[in-house]
Amino acid sequence: MSEKEKLKMWPAIVHAKCPRCRVGAIYSNPTYSLFGQKMLENCPHCELKYEREPGYFYAAMYVSYAFVVAELVTLGIGTSILTGSSNPWVYIIVLLSVVGILAPFNLRYSRVLLLHWLTPGLRYKPEMSIKR
Ligand SMILES: [Zn+2]
């Protein structure tokens, strides 16, 4: 298989595709859906079972935690630079509202990154990308 036929990692992560084939979707609906996010049990393309073992996605909480800390620090510094305010309510309102808005994003991408980067023994297999 040539280098050209291999699917790139970043588009697979951004579009929440299966870590093994990079073709099948992980979620059945968009990040910001009124009905919440529905994660598929198996990859529709290569049949990979996403939940490796019962409770596997508890580990995504650590990834999500890192996201939230990074967001809070960035927002706190950004708010300080932009407003120069020393009123704690400015920070509380800005930080909580933005982190609240980003919660569905954090949920989705914490699981996607867990599957793509932090799951031992799970890696991209280009031969799995080929349409069967
Ligand atoms: Zn797959």
pLDDT for 35: 87
**Domain tally for the chain?**
1
> In this model, does residue 132 exceed pLDDT 60?
no
> What is the Å distance from ligand 1's center to 3 Cα?
19
CB 18 within 8 A of CB 121: no
**Cα separation, 41 vs 51, whole angstroms:** 7
> What is the Å distance from ligand 1's center to 77 Cα?
39
> What is the Å distance from ligand 1's center to 127 Cα?
11
> What is the Å distance from ligand 1's center to 94 Cα?
38
> What is the Å distance from ligand 1's center to 105 Cα?
21
pLDDT for 82: 96
> What is the Å distance from ligand 1's center to 80 Cα?
44
Range of the domain at 43: 3-128
> In this model, does residue 5 exceed pLDDT 80?
no
CB-proximal residues (5 Å) to ion ligand 1: 18, 20-21, 24, 43, 45-46, 48
**Average pLDDT rounded to a whole number, residues 52-58:** 94
pLDDT for 116: 96
When the pLDDT of each residue in the chain is averaged and rounded to a whole number, the result is 93
End-to-end CA, the chain = 16
